[in-house]
């Protein structure tokens, strides 16, 4: 049998501070029902620590679940649109913190498609024999670049990290097919000019250049069509019909996008796993976080055929078909947690509110509590 990349460990890191729809009502012309109807989101998390801290903890939890020592890793791959620094990479910093002295490390940016792209890289390197054990992390601190008075973006995005361990296996389980694509001509529908979330990034760009540019209606159409076409192609490559799929774990972009793509693909809605209501859109972190939650909810069984699919800025898209291995229980647990914080959500987003205040004709000192 050919060598395949099998998921053997999984973990996530969710910051403790919530930004609820009620909080957002204090910042823009929106309300809880409006947000839920258009996105399916009730709350999202805001991190009080750097994105690398989120990535590290998610990675430690995934390694514990796989029963691996960090020294056994051959590669650490981090997918992120919001790295703390451009250099050194998040992956290199995580490699150092974990003590993964035998591992290579690099970051990958394909926006919200990042985890699928990273999985494709990991699977390809495992299949080629270049590596045997890979830690893939999706981590985002999107709060570092949000204008929280812009209801078109602020209602969507949250912070978090998820991680998965892929190991080489000679059985029939593992990554079976990959579909990746991009259309740079539509890249202007989502633009983020900031260069990192570490430190005071608000001193580097003007407010009108710093804010995330997001064309919601255009993105919706491109995303639905892109996801549906990508899933159709990858299922064809793997030799499966849609009714043979056991679980679909999409990027948690927007509940309406996922619902529309599900209908277009004629998939059974009960097979589509969603956790967007309490986490929001966490970019490249959303699929690995959802994998962890799906396992905790007993939604994945040994031998299941799983489809992962995502769409992101760039424009990028990608889908994976994999067969789950024999184990759905963690071999171990990492007991560490993020450092505690007494900060409120408005304490954490205060720099954002001050920086973007003048764009909304407001006094930077006029802050909610």
**Angle ∠(249,252,257) on CA atoms, nearest 5:** 100
Question: Between 114-128 and 286-296, two packed helices, what is the crossing angle to 10 degrees?
Answer: 80
Of the residues 21, 48, 109, 112, only one is catalytic, namely 112
Query: Domain-by-domain residue ranges, the chain?
Result: 4-330+342-360
| Confidence (pLDDT) at 205 | 65
Cβ atoms of 5 and 126 within 8 Å: the answer is: yes
Of the residues 251, 254, 275, 352, only one is catalytic, namely 251
Of the residues 21, 121, 275, 281, only one is catalytic, namely 281
Note if 48 is an active site residue.
no
**Angle ∠(71,288,109) on CA atoms, nearest 5:** 85
SS3 content of the chain, % helix, strand, coil (to 5): 40, 25, 35
Count CB-CB contacts under 10 A for residue 270. 8
**Angle ∠(153,154,157) on CA atoms, nearest 5:** 85
| Confidence (pLDDT) at 214 | 64
| Confidence (pLDDT) at 25 | 96
Count CB-CB contacts under 10 A for residue 145. 23
Q: Which fold does the domain 4-330+342-360 belong to in CATH?
A: Peroxisomal Thiolase; Chain A, domain 1 (3.40.47)
Structure tokens belonging to residue 239: 């030799």
Residue partners of 298: CB distance under 8 A and separation at least 6: 328
Q: What are the mean pLDDT values of the chain's consecutive 10-residue runs (369 residues total)? A: 94 98 96 96 98 98 98 98 93 98 98 97 98 98 93 94 98 97 83 66 64 70 87 96 96 91 91 97 98 98 98 92 98 97 97 91 85
Q: Is the dihedral of CA 168, 170, 171, 175 positive or negative?
A: positive
**Edge-to-edge strand list for the sheet holding 4-13:** 4-13, 160-169, 133-140, 75-79, 104-108
| Confidence (pLDDT) at 226 | 85
| Confidence (pLDDT) at 196 | 66
d(CA 216, CA 226) in angstroms, rounded, equals 15
Any idea what DSSP says for residue 74?
A: S
Note if 121 is an active site residue.
no
Note if 360 is an active site residue.
no
| Confidence (pLDDT) at 217 | 75
d(CA 306, CA 320) in angstroms, rounded, equals 8
């Amino acid at each position: 049998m050919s060598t395949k990349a099998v998921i053997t460990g999984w973990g996530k890191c969710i910051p403790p501070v919530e930004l609820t729809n009620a909080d957002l009502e204090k910042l823009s012309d929106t309300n809880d029902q409006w947000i839920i109807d258009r996105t399916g989101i009730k709350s999202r998390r805001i991190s009080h620590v750097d994105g690398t801290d989120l990535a590290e903890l998610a990675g430690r939890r995934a390694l514990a679940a796989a029963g691996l020592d960090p020294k056994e890793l051959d590669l650490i791959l981090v997918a992120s649109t919001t790295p703390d620094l451009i250099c050194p990479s998040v992956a290199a910093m995580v490699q150092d913190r974990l003590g993964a002295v035998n591992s290579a490390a690099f970051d990958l940016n394909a926006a919200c498609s990042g985890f699928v792209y990273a999985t494709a890289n990991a699977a390809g390197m495992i299949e080629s024999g270049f590596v045997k054990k890979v830690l893939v992390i999706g981590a985002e601190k999107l709060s570092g670049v949000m204008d929280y008075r812009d209801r078109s973006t602020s209602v969507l995005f949250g912070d978090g990290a998820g991680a998965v361990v892929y190991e080489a296996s000679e059985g029939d389980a593992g990554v079976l097919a990959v579909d990746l694509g991009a259309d740079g001509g539509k890249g202007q529908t989502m633009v983020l000019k900031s260069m990192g979330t570490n430190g005071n990034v608000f001193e580097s760009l003007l407010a009108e250049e710093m804010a995330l540019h997001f064309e919601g209606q255009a993105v919706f159409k491109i995303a639905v069509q892109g996801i549906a076409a990508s899933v159709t192609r990858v299922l064809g490559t793997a030799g499966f019909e849609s009714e043979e799929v056991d679980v679909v774990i999409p990027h948690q972009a927007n509940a309406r996008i996922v619902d529309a793509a599900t209908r277009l693909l004629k998939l059974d809605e009960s097979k589509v796993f969603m956790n967007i209501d309490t986490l929001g859109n966490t970019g490249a972190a959303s699929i690995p976080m959802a994998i962890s939650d799906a396992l905790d909810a007993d939604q994945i069984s040994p031998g299941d055929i799983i489809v992962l699919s995502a769409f992101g800025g760039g424009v990028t898209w990608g889908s994976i078909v994999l067969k789950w291995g024999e184990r759905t229980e963690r071999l171990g647990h990492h007991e560490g947690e993020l450092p505690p914080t007494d900060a409120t959500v408005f304490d954490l987003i205060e720099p954002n509110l001050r920086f973007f205040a003048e764009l909304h004709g407001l006094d930077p000192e006029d802050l909610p509590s």
